[in-house]
Amino acid sequence: MVGLPQTELLPGHPVARARDADEAHEAVTRTYLPHRLEVLERGTDLDMRLNAVRVGAVTAGYLRYGGAVRLATVDAGNYHVNLPITGRCEQRCGSWEPVYAGPGRAAVFMPGHPADLRWGPGCAQLCLMIDRHALELELERQLGRPLGERPRFATAMDLDTPAARSWLEVLALLEREAGRPGGITQHPLAAVHLQGLVIAGLLLAQPNNYSDRLHAPAAPAPPRPLRRAVELIEDEPGRPWTSSTLAREVSLSVRALQEGFQRWFGVPPMTYLREVRLTRVHDELVAADPTVTTIGAIAARWGFLHAGRFSTAYRRKFGRLPSETWHGRHGGKETRV
């Protein structure tokens, strides 16, 4: 298939091997997410191969088992796309209809839902994991506004459409550069750009609940005062903004500011500000030194003084509690999945 590697991903990179279900389970859990693994044919010896690389928020891996197996996962924390290279795999996300995936047809999995996969003995797949937060931030950048709801993709992906073929070429570039000594994935700025191409390509290639807006003709730019208000929020989200002070800064009435934000960005100005601040909190939770600060201190610095309301807003936006992000990045039990 155009764009997909036909051999084990990333020559020269370490390949995890397993001959039994316990070893295979441990390797895949460590790379992707916790699951149960069942060998479907008694007496069959597994010959599992896993070779994966992480580029920013994207993990790409070649995976085969060498036998018929069934995987049942916990609720995923991120987006996953499984692209069969050889063989076939029946794959189900949550309660959606199963996807009978093979070369030319991939399966897409959403966060917040378990997966059930029946992996054929001759099946090898390119397995992508895309950080949910990174995908939603890229979508916000594409739309130019905060999201109203979590992105939801169609679970079956036709890899023969023009948009999907272009996306496969991006994946081929990722594979080539990740396997090349001194390739562009070794340079942080280039890796971020490549990560963005992978995520944006998926958003544009695979039907989702934002497709109409992504493919609509570019909307005219908002009036200058509204653009200035957004710049002020993005540049100085820590200022004690109110609708009144923001309206005064950009020489609008409060009503004109509120109506303008609702029309152009789909949310009131203070909701826009809250979403920006939640993103800054998230970024600090990931980067902070837990020996010198706390979740509460970070939240308070961005204006979230009520712990319960903050946790609810954070979970709605990021799909997990602030404490889960904190412990997942600072030595807790949660693994990035």
Per the structure, the count of domains in the chain is: 2
Determine how many CB atoms are found less than 10 A away from the CB of residue 297: 11
Instruction: Judge whether 334 lies within some domain.
Output: no
Q: Say yes or no: 237 and 201 in one domain.
A: no
Instruction: Judge whether 337 lies within some domain.
Output: no
Residue 230: its pLDDT value, please?
92
Instruction: Judge whether 159 lies within some domain.
Output: yes
Q: Say yes or no: 246 and 123 in one domain.
A: no
Q: Say yes or no: 169 and 241 in one domain.
A: no
pTM, whole model, 2 decimals? Answer: 0.71
pLDDT tens track, the chain, 337 positions: 344 544 455 544 556 777 778 888 888 888 888 899 998 887 677 888 888 888 888 999 889 998 899 999 999 999 999 999 999 999 999 999 999 999 899 999 999 999 999 999 889 999 999 999 889 888 987 887 778 788 999 999 999 999 999 999 999 888 888 777 777 777 776 777 888 899 999 999 999 999 998 888 766 768 899 999 999 999 999 888 989 889 999 998 888 899 999 888 888 999 999 999 999 998 888 887 888 889 999 998 888 888 888 999 898 888 788 988 887 654 443 333 2
Q: Say yes or no: 144 and 256 in one domain.
A: no
Instruction: Judge whether 318 lies within some domain.
Output: yes
Instruction: Judge whether 90 lies within some domain.
Output: yes
CA dist 48 and 9 (Å) reads: 14
CATH number at residue 175: 2.60.120.10
Cα-based distances in Å from 310 to 3, 111, 178, 262, 265:
43, 21, 39, 23, 23
Residue 218: its pLDDT value, please?
62
**Token pair 């007496």 in the structure block, residue:** 43
Instruction: Judge whether 1 lies within some domain.
Output: no
Point out the domain boundary residue: 146, 178, 213: 213
Point out the domain boundary residue: 158, 191, 213: 213
Instruction: Judge whether 3 lies within some domain.
Output: no
Return the structure tokens found at 146: 């905060």
Residue 1: its pLDDT value, please?
38
| Identity of residue 29 | T
Q: Say yes or no: 209 and 271 in one domain.
A: no
CA dihedral 182, 186, 192, 198 (to 10 degrees): 60
Point out the domain boundary residue: 166, 190, 213: 213
Q: Say yes or no: 195 and 229 in one domain.
A: no
Q: Say yes or no: 34 and 95 in one domain.
A: yes
CATH number at residue 283: 1.10.10.60
CA dist 16 and 51 (Å) reads: 6
32 closest CA partner among 136, 90, 111: 111
Residue 15: its pLDDT value, please?
63
What backbone phi and psi angles, to 5 degrees, belong to 80? Answer: -130, 145
Instruction: Judge whether 275 lies within some domain.
Output: yes
Residue 11: its pLDDT value, please?
46
Q: Say yes or no: 30 and 169 in one domain.
A: yes
Sheet with 124-130: list strands edge to edge. Answer: 16-18, 48-55, 58-64, 124-130, 79-86, 105-109, 156-158
Q: Say yes or no: 150 and 240 in one domain.
A: no
Determine how many CB atoms are found less than 10 A away from the CB of residue 259: 13
Residue 254: its pLDDT value, please?
87
**Angle CA 23–176–197, to nearest 5:** 100
Q: Say yes or no: 243 and 201 in one domain.
A: no
Residue 219: its pLDDT value, please?
63
- Sign of the alpha-carbon dihedral angle for 23, 26, 30, 34: positive
Q: Say yes or no: 151 and 21 in one domain.
A: yes
Q: Say yes or no: 193 and 228 in one domain.
A: no
What range defines the domain where residue 315 resides? Answer: 224-329
Burial state string for 150-169 with b = 16 or more CB within 10 A and e = fewer than 16: bbebebbbebeeeebeebbe
Cβ(91)–Cβ(98) under 8 Å?
yes
CA dist 22 and 307 (Å) reads: 41
